[in-house]
Amino acid sequence: MAWTFSRPLHSLSTADQNKDAQHVWEHESLGGIAENNNPLPRPVIGLLLLTYFTAMAITFPLYGQRPSAAIYADYVALMNSTMVQEVMNDKSITHDEANHRAMAMIEDSLAHFDSPYTFQRAQHPIDLDQLRVVAPQIVELQHAGVDLEEYTVIGAEVVKANFFNIQPDGTIVAKQPWWDKGYTIAVWWFIIFCIAVIITVKRLPHFSWRPDHTIAH
């Protein structure tokens, strides 16, 4: 089985192989089924690629990360500041308005500083009532000196993350990775699948050739 790479996007088969394939194509009835040699429409190819990249973008591991306690540590510190506490305890306005103003102050302060958690904060917004609930737990963890990235905020609870990333030295890090092996497998599967399809198609006669179905039908 010979291969030719002089024009890989035109054909990977030699001229005699293409001639044999054309003969088989035209002289075998295939149970009365007539197969044309048409290329896959470009809009269909575009739709397939769009579907794939959309699926990969939506399932990107970084987008599926759970909110860690570290994301809200700065929120807690600002919430406990004097200025924010004054707004939170202002009895001249409603509870909701006080919450809104206090949270606006916190978010405005956070916007003035770069943080590795900016993306995660946008993914997992929190309101002041929720912050009040988890704040004591986060402060307790800070006093314990633990890594807040290893703790996940689930509703009103701050719990140890159930990730087990074993390091070369044997220690276990309970942090959710931004990439995982399953995603790597999906990427490589798609690449290998596309290469296999291209090779298979390019081993057939070029779509510029049209079979004569009257020969076998």
What one-letter code names the amino acid at 91?
K
Q: Supply the DSSP symbol for 154.
A: E
**Phi–psi pair at 173, nearest 5 degrees:** -110, 120
β-partners of residue 172 are 166
Locate the domains of the chain by residue range.
1-65+178-217, 67-162
The residue ranking higher by pLDDT, 172 or 71, is 71
State both tokens at 194.
Answer: 């596309």
C-beta of residue 189 within 8 angstroms of C-beta of residue 2: no
Q: What is the pLDDT of residue 126?
A: 94
pLDDT, tens digit (0-9, with 9 covering 90-100), for 88-142: 999 999 999 999 999 999 999 999 889 999 988 998 999 999 999 999 999 999 9
Q: What is the mean pLDDT of residues 157-184?
A: 83
Q: What is the pTM of this model?
A: 0.60
Q: What is the dihedral of CA 89, 91, 95, 96, to 10 degrees?
A: -100
C-beta of residue 38 within 8 angstroms of C-beta of residue 207: yes
Q: How many CB atoms lie within 10 A of CB 106?
A: 23
Q: What is the pLDDT of residue 216?
A: 66
Radius of gyration for the alpha carbons in the chain, expressed in angstroms and rounded: 30
**Phi–psi pair at 76, nearest 5 degrees:** -65, -45
pLDDT, tens digit (0-9, with 9 covering 90-100), for 54-86: 988 888 776 667 899 999 999 999 999 999 999
pLDDT, tens digit (0-9, with 9 covering 90-100), for 24-52: 888 887 777 778 888 888 999 999 999 99
* Average pLDDT score over the chain: 88
Q: What is the pLDDT of residue 143?
A: 96
Is residue 67 classed as helix, strand or coil in its secondary structure?
Answer: coil
Written as one string, the DSSP assignment of 83-138 is HHHHHHT-TTS-HHHHHHHHHHHHHHHHHTS--TTHHHHHHS---HHHHHHHHHHH
Q: What is the pLDDT of residue 84?
A: 94
What distance separates the 2 farthest-apart alpha carbons in the chain? 92
